[in-house]
Amino acid sequence: MANFSPSSFCSSSCITAFIILQLLWSCRLFANGCYTSIISFGDSLADTGNLKMLSAYKPDQESLHFFLPPYGESFFHVPTGRCSNGRLVIDFIAESIGLPLVAPFVGGNRNRLMEFRRGVNYAVVGATALDSSFHAARGVPNPLTNSSLRVQLGWFKQSWPSICAKVQDCDQLIRHSLILMGEIGGNDYNHALLAGKSIDEIETYVPLVVKAIISTVKELIKLGAKTILIPGNLPIGCSAAYLTLYHDSDKAEYDNSTGCLIWLNKLSEYHNQLLQKELYQLRELHRDANIIYGDYYNAAMQFFRYPDKYGFTNGALKACCGGGGPFNYNLSVHCGDPSSNLCAHPDTYVNWDGLHLTQAAYKIIYKSLFQGSYTVPQFNSICPTSMLRPIKELSSAI
């Protein structure tokens, strides 16, 4: 063994100080919350800029309007690739546990590896749980991306060794990470519905979609994940896009208490019920892991049923930004198009652009899950509310 000398190595007191600094750094990471990192997969409900980076090479892509004002206007003041006027649920989570807003994976390089150690996002706007080939074989194209859940998992596996640097670091980092599995699966139904597929056919996709999600969760657990949050689908029958598309439906097809389409919400409920059943079985097999179901559906139904109670004085169904019509949604005039119109006070609206929600709505979903009772098991039984930081006001900027 080589001899240590003062001339070539730090003194023992210096080494001790270095170790203390390392311990203090580790403690600071945990003191900021319950997790040292966030790893995210999913679609437009979670994407913080991946499709924006992917689309930089395809300027004619249909998604271009997502990257134009007024997207991002209420918090970032510039479009960031998020499909909202401001923050998403994932942003509120990061703020609350004292972590930076989660960086998109696409476009990252070695200079961002340290940033990725504290959070990396593989979610892509338009992504599906099932591969694009599944939908293409059924005549349903994906105009936005082929970055399905399997593709995102592939990105993770390929990049993770570089992000965590060492084998022991990888084990520790994934063990102490909060993994967000979506929302994912909604686009498997959205793309098919917009392509004109029947509800009977789309219902046959549900077990396959859930299987794809569960398979990915299993793979992450195998890789060492200990805390995974898997959200269910939102009530799509309350979407301004579908309320516009099926505007001439029989009045009996609408829920009198919300104005939402019953049959579309039943599709979401079917997905969520099957997902919860599979997650229950997964918990039985992996008792050492925290496998959490996020009830996006009922968290959202709070403000669809009682919009005024939550400050949505302009109602829950009409889009803030869109191309006109009874729900301010037009398939031919997207939010961001020069001829689209914009509401004056987005925080008084639930719906942002017809398919996505406003920052104010996402904040309520966040609080319902992470500070309330809309997860199974309850998130605050795993990470106490006292460990969470207050989040910035909706009108704030970073």
In single-letter form, the type of residue at position 355 comes to L
pLDDT tens for the chain, 398 residues long, are 333 222 332 344 433 343 333 433 333 334 346 999 999 999 999 999 999 999 875 655 556 889 999 999 999 999 999 999 999 999 999 999 999 999 999 987 767 888 899 999 999 999 999 999 999 999 999 989 999 999 999 999 999 999 988 777 899 999 999 999 999 999 999 999 999 999 999 999 999 999 999 999 999 999 999 999 999 999 999 999 999 999 988 989 999 999 999 999 999 999 999 999 999 999 999 999 999 999 999 999 999 999 999 999 999 999 999 999 999 999 999 999 999 999 999 999 999 999 999 999 999 999 999 999 999 999 989 999 888 888 877 654 33
User: Residue 288 is part of which domain span?
Assistant: 33-234+261-296+355-387
pLDDT recorded at residue 28: 39
Cite the active site residues.
Answer: 44, 353, 356
Provide Rg for the chain, Cα atoms.
22
Question: Distance (Å, rounded) from C-alpha 293 to C-alpha 275?
Answer: 9
pLDDT at 300: 98
CATH code of 174's domain: 3.40.50.1110
The pLDDT of residue 24 is 39
> What is the pLDDT at residue 169?
86
Q: Is residue 359 part of a domain?
A: yes
State the DSSP H helix or E strand holding residue 178, giving kind and residue range, or none if neither: strand 177-181
In a domain, 192, yes or no: yes
CA gap 173, 118 in Å, rounded? 9
Let me know if residue 332 belongs to a domain: no
Helix boundaries (H) for 48-185: 50-55, 89-96, 113-117, 132-136, 149-164, 167-175
Determine what percent of the chain falls in helix, strand and coil, rounding each to the nearest 5: 45, 10, 45
Q: Is residue 338 part of a domain?
A: no
Identify whether 135 is part of a domain.
yes
Domain total for the chain? 1
Query: Does residue 81 lie in a domain region?
Result: yes
pLDDT digits (tens, 9 = 90+) for 32-81: 469 999 999 999 999 999 999 998 756 555 568 899 999 999 999 999 99
Quote the tokens at residue 280. Answer: 């229950």
Report CA-CA distances (Å) from 189 to 26, 78, 209, 245, 335: 43, 30, 9, 14, 22
Contact 126, 140 (CB under 8 A): no
In whole angstroms, what is the distance from residue 102 CA to residue 91 CA? 7
pLDDT at position 143, please?
86
Beta partners for residue 231, in sequence order? 294
In a domain, 209, yes or no: yes
In a domain, 60, yes or no: yes
pTM of the predicted model as reported, rounded to 2 decimal places = 0.90
